[in-house]
Amino acid sequence: MRAQRSVIISRAPEEVYDFVTNPANAAYWQAEVTGCEVLNRTEDGVGSQLRWVFAGGGYEVEAIETVIAVDRPRLFASQHIATRFLSGPPPDPGQLPATEDDLAQRFRLTYGRKPPGGLVALEFEPLDDAAACCVTMRVETQLGGAAWIGAWVQRLMGRSNIKTALNALKDEMERLALP
């Protein structure tokens, strides 16, 4: 599944790029992010890995990000693979919390046998003598199981996590620009 959205931000491309590529800022523009840990960092950034935790649908999902392209301030791209559910609701109301086995089974039912993953690319195009930029986010996702159906329905209904994230990024960057 592929999706792409753009937004114009009244900030220089370098400022937006640096904000977006700093993991400490992720929660400001990606509401589903609940945690991030740098696993390894390379000198030029390519090959660096991070462990992300995302919340959604009553679950916390762990994902590993590997940076595949860095061209400051024009391009940042990475590959993501979701690895497991870290927590979730109990199997039945009133029961004890879900066990690791429950979570592993639900992960397979939700995403299928192959771990879900995809490519995320952010492009930063300078505008107005570089006083503003157009940020384009392109996502190519490989989903299986029930997650594919959910993503398809979401797309039909015109809902977009990408649009929400980019609008939040615009709001945060332009808020930071206020005196």
**HEC-encoded secondary structure of 47-75:** CCEEEEEEEECCEEEEEEEEEEEEECCCE
**Mean pLDDT over the full length of the chain:** 85
For the chain, the domains span 2-176
Percentage of the chain exceeding pLDDT 70: 82
pLDDT digits (tens, 9 = 90+) for 91-118: 666 666 777 887 777 777 777 777 778 8
Q: Considering the domain 2-176, what is its CATH architecture? A: 2-Layer Sandwich (3.30)
Residue 155 has pLDDT above 60, yes or no: no
**Contact assessment for residue 109 and residue 92, using Cβ atoms and an 8 Å cutoff:** no
**Contact assessment for residue 76 and residue 122, using Cβ atoms and an 8 Å cutoff:** yes
